[in-house]
Amino acid sequence: MTTTDLTQRLAGKVALVTGGSRGQGAAHVRRLASEGATVVAADILDVEGKELAASLESEGFNVRYTRLDVGDAENWSRVIGEVEADFGQLDILVNNAGIIHEVSLEEETQERWQRILQVNLTGPLLGMQAALPLLRRQVGASIINTASIFGPVGAINNGAYCASKAGLIGLTKTAALEFAPLGIRVNSLCPGGVNSPMTEADPEGGVVPDTPFKRRANLEEISGVVAFLASSDASFITGAEIVVDGGFTAR
């Protein structure tokens, strides 16, 4: 898909994407910018984030990078302050940042457990709290929280990850109810397997054998759903779990 094929349905909107330096986050940054949004990519991967922003700006997109540790409330306050100072608005928040580790429940440690929850669950909470004053000023504001198919279902050796994503789905539904009177939509995105640098070495493994399409999603297939949820085309969708998994959970 080329830039000229895309609509400008997000023109005039400002978006913030966490975990935006690489992988799914970088793809979301590109897609939202391609549809006309001004996008702030936020991450702790400074080199990759700055390179991404510079590359997209050279293509004519309005993208910038800022450092953000999503588990830190002061970081969130600073970044939202920057967005307000630079743009005066925020229309789209994509809580995409996330981490994972694999270990049995028997061998799980409190330190690792807490770190997963801090990034994957507390991070989106802090982000929504910090961004709410700006989002509530806009018409049609949208929050997209990246959960996972391993929120509705379990996965061996992924107890902390599954717990964090199940919690994020519940948090999203509560936020959707509380923010509806403000006109803010809040939805959770539940991807299945996704092609990324982390999965290139194992093209047939992971969830692929149990996915009816027998492959992982391309990054663009996930980002297209993010752009849809961010747009007025999804104006009556809130509190939903949008599953993009090639049929994995249909089993």
pLDDT bracket for residue 202 (50, 70, 90): low
Active site annotation includes 161: yes
Paired residues of 90 in beta bridges: none
pLDDT tens column, 17-69: 999 999 999 999 999 999 999 999 999 999 999 999 999 999 999 999 999 99
pLDDT given for residue 7 in this prediction? 81
pLDDT tens column, 90-144: 999 999 999 999 999 999 999 999 999 999 999 999 999 999 999 999 999 999 9
Question: What per-residue string of b and e applies to 99-135 under the rule 16 or more CB within 10 Å gives b?
Answer: bbeeeeeeeeeeeebeebbbbbbbbbbbbbebbbebb
Residue 25, classed as helix, strand or coil, is helix
Asked if 171 and 124 count as a contact pair (C-beta separation under 8 A), the reply is: yes
Asked if pLDDT for residue 3 goes beyond 50, the answer is no
Asked if pLDDT for residue 1 goes beyond 70, the answer is no
Task: Give the Cα-Cα-Cα angle 164, 168, 169 (nearest 5 degrees).
Answer: 125
pLDDT tens column, 127-142: 999 999 999 999 999 9
Asked if 208 and 214 count as a contact pair (C-beta separation under 8 A), the reply is: yes
Share of the chain above pLDDT 70, in %: 94
pLDDT given for residue 4 in this prediction? 41
pLDDT given for residue 203 in this prediction? 66
For residue 201, give every residue at least 6 positions away whose Cβ sits within 8 Å of its Cβ, in sequence order, or none.
none
pLDDT bracket for residue 251 (50, 70, 90): confident
Choose the catalytic residue: 61, 65, 76, 161. Answer: 161
Q: What is the mean pLDDT of residues 176-204?
A: 87
pLDDT tens column, 68-82: 999 999 999 999 999
Residue 241, classed as helix, strand or coil, is strand
Asked if pLDDT for residue 177 goes beyond 80, the answer is yes
pLDDT bracket for residue 6 (50, 70, 90): low
